[in-house]
């Protein structure tokens, strides 16, 4: 799963959305099963409708087998709302493929089998570990989206912290925000320079990731310092009067103050 568009050319993307050079490599498959509190159609719409509500904005795939996928990919399976395969192929055997198998369950929930497969070209273990951890966070966010915000238009904001965050920045950010000891279900007040105080509920806690949400937004904190990149904060904004530019500016100022 990917925070940017995908490309099958020599400049490909890994699971965090960052580019790498395609070439001879080793195949991988990240497989997950999950149950979500939504209908198969809600899940299908979320993964084919542009993704800004839970991942990042991408053009929807062309709705047919053989249809175009952003970045030069192809729709390999299109059976709404039960089976979706999107694939990018590149030189030297490189490929990147996302598969969703979607089934209704009694009680109104939906079971999903998700497989992200492809080729990593170097540093296989670290790339796999990073991709697997990002996948768990993204799928959690997807489940949160279809449960609480499905069908609501979203504005997406992505802000990277300064380069100083490469040195243990995730822990620094949590301390600055007063979120070092939180658990899923906890509530907290998040004070960000330039925004009204945010009354948030914690929904995801992992060694390098933190998920927070309000009635009208999800905030995702990525501790990518663990993977050799700056810390990032992503916001998915669902309020009709949301101002993504103001949120982006406030987050950038806040992170700049923390990592000055």
The residue with greater pLDDT, 127 or 56, is: 56
| CA dist., res. 22 & res. 238, Å (int) | 36
Model confidence at 106, pLDDT cuts 50, 70, 90, reads: very high
**139 plus 245 within the same structural domain:** no
Answer whether residue 4 is part of any domain.
no
Residue that is last in its domain, among 132, 148, 164: 148
What does the pLDDT look like over 221-247, one tens digit per residue?
Answer: 999 999 999 999 999 999 999 999 999
User: Of 22-36, 88-102, 148-162, which one has max mean pLDDT?
Assistant: 148-162
Q: What pTM, to 2 d.p., does this model score?
A: 0.88
pLDDT at residue 21 in the model: 38
pLDDT above 70: residue 115: yes
Domain count within the chain: 2
Residue that is last in its domain, among 127, 148, 169: 148
DSSP states along 217-233 = EEEEEE-GGGGTS--EE
| CA dist., res. 156 & res. 49, Å (int) | 14
Answer whether residue 53 is part of any domain.
yes
Percent helix, strand, coil in the chain (nearest 5)? 25, 35, 40
| CA dist., res. 204 & res. 90, Å (int) | 35
**102 plus 187 within the same structural domain:** no
Model confidence at 166, pLDDT cuts 50, 70, 90, reads: very high
Answer whether residue 104 is part of any domain.
yes
Answer whether residue 62 is part of any domain.
yes
Q: Which two tokens stand for residue 201?
A: 């509920």
Model confidence at 24, pLDDT cuts 50, 70, 90, reads: low
| CA dist., res. 240 & res. 244, Å (int) | 11
Answer whether residue 177 is part of any domain.
yes
Answer whether residue 25 is part of any domain.
yes
What domain range includes position 42?
Answer: 11-148
What is the mean predicted confidence (pLDDT) over 4-27?
42
**139 plus 233 within the same structural domain:** no
């Amino acid at each position: 799963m990917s925070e940017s568009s995908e490309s099958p050319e020599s400049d490909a993307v890994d699971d965090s959305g960052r580019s790498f050079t395609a070439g001879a490599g080793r195949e991988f498959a990240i497989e997950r099963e999950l149950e979500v509190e939504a209908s198969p159609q809600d899940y299908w719409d979320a993964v084919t409708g542009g993704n800004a509500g839970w991942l990042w904005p991408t053009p929807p795939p062309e709705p047919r087998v053989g249809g175009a996928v952003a970045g030069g990919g192809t729709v390999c399976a299109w059976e709404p709302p039960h089976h979706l395969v999107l694939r990018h192929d590149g030189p030297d055997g490189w490929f990147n493929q996302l598969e969703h198998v979607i089934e209704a369950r009694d009680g109104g929930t939906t079971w999903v089998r998700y497989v992200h497969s492809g080729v990593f070209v170097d540093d296989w273990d670290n790339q796999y570990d990073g991709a697997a951890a990002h996948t768990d966070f993204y799928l959690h966010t997807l489940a949160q989206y279809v449960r609480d915000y499905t069908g609501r238009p979203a504005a997406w904001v992505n802000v990277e912290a300064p380069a100083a965050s490469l040195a243990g920045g995730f822990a620094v950010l949590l301390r600055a925000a007063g979120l070092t000891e939180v658990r899923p279900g906890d509530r907290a007040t998040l004070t960000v320079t330039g925004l009204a105080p945010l009354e948030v509920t914690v929904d995801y806690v992992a060694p390098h990731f933190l998920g927070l949400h309000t009635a009208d937004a999800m905030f995702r904190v990525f501790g990518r310092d663990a993977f050799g990149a700056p810390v990032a904060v992503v916001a998915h904004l669902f309020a009709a009067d949301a101002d993504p530019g103001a949120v982006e500016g406030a987050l950038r100022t806040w992170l700049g103050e923390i990592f000055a």
